Amino acid sequence: MIFILLIFFFMYVFPIFFLYLPVIRTTSIVATILLVVGVVLYLVQTFMIYKFVTRPQKLLTQHEDIRYSGQLVHAEILNEEVIQESNHEISKRLLVQFLNLAGNPVKSYVKVVDSKPHEHRFERGKTIDLKLNKNGFQPPFTLNDGEYETKTSPFASVWIIFNIVYMIGFFIVTYYVQNDGYGWRFLSPVTSWLWAPISGIILLRILLKLSSSFDIVMRYHPLISFNSEEEFGELLLYGKTVEGEILSYSQTGLHVNEQPQVLFSIQYVTDEGKKLTKRIKMSSV
């Protein structure tokens, strides 16, 4: 919740502080072009907000589709961890192992809510049924039994409407403060009305990446990129384990969760006998 409030602050409050900075005048043609660019940027930001607020419902639909059309596999529970416990339910994170669509053993975490803990269904050594996604990578699999539940915030649609109203309102306020009889020639690349949606798009992209924790499927191996969810799904469903030779490694100078990030250069041999070298960043081994 605090992170969401920080995003709101930097998206909607912080740009207002720059209203009274010196204005850089542009030509009417440049200003008109920047006006169109600004509207497009705000529309992109609105679309990303829509993607974020509709993600839980989209995940529900995807899990239902995979349950209907996915490939059934049996997964062994290697480990269990209690996340939250109430009077009648226990939330657990399970480490499971199963054969993927390429026939290779892989591991992944999956979150479950055990409504019948007295039956000991989700203990180490037990098996659960999964359905693997044959038509995509996100999510890579779902549980074959039980119900997938999601929560939609009642303020989701309000955020979308507010963003559009903010775009119009902030432009009117900026026009009133900075036009000085020159129309919208106050628009320049440094105008806060113009760069505010750029910072918003960056923040929303981070938020969309972090929102992957909404799903019941969690990564076992860490991946660090903005496409890591797609990469994780593809590796989990079609990847295989091979031995690699570490050619070199060095710290990048960054820390993730107080762990130093290390850059590895690894060489391995493909099924065709071709040697490939990849560079991988990891924060824990």
Q: Residues 4-18: pLDDT tens digits? A: 788 888 899 999 998
- Residues 154 and 148: their CA atoms lie apart, in Å, by 19
Question: Among 80, 126, 132, which residue's Cα sits nearest to residue 106?
Answer: 132
- What pLDDT is stored for residue 32 in this prediction? 92
Higher local confidence (pLDDT), 147 or 177? 177
Is this model's pTM higher than 0.75 or not? Answer: no
Hey, what amino acid is at 115? S
**Per-residue model confidence (pLDDT) at position 227:** 52
Q: How far apart are CA 252 and CA 28, in angstroms?
A: 46
Residue 261 contacts residue 285 (beta carbons within 8 Å): no
Of 76, 59, 53, 47, residue with least CA distance to 233 = 59
Query: Rounded to the nearest 5 degrees, what angle is found at the Cα of 278, between the Cα atoms of 273 and 283?
Result: 140
Mean pLDDT of the chain: 84
**Contact between 266 and 278 (Cβ < 8 Å):** yes
Average pLDDT over residues 175-180: 88
pLDDT band at 162 (very low <50, low <70, confident <90, very high): very high
Buried/exposed 85-94: b ≥16 CB within 10 Å, e otherwise: eeeeebebbb
pLDDT of residue 242: 81
Per-residue pLDDT tens for 124-148? 899 999 999 998 888 889 988 877 7
Residue 193 is predicted with a pLDDT of 92
Distance (Å) of CA 121 to CA 73, 115, 125, 190? 17, 10, 10, 59
82: tokens are 């209690």
The predicted structure's pLDDT at residue 256: 66
Neighbours of 264 (CB within 10 A): 16
Confidence category of residue 226, pLDDT binned at 50, 70, 90: very low
Averaged pLDDT, 164-176: 93
| Direct distance between the N- and C-terminal alpha carbons of the chain, in angstroms, rounded to an integer | 30
pLDDT at 229 over 70: no
Are the beta carbons of 26 and 182 closer than 8 angstroms? no
Share of the chain above pLDDT 70, in %: 90
Angstrom distance (rounded) from CA 61 to CA 52: 15
Are the CB atoms for 265 and 279 separated by under 8 Å?
yes
Q: Which residues contact residue 281 at a Cβ distance below 8 angstroms, ignoring those fewer than 6 apart?
A: 224, 252, 261, 262, 263, 264
Which of the four pLDDT bands, split at 50, 70 and 90, describes residue 222?
low
Structure tokens at 14: 């912080």
pLDDT value at 230 more than 70: no
Q: Are 93 and 109 in contact (CB under 8 A)?
A: yes
Mean pLDDT across 36-43 = 94
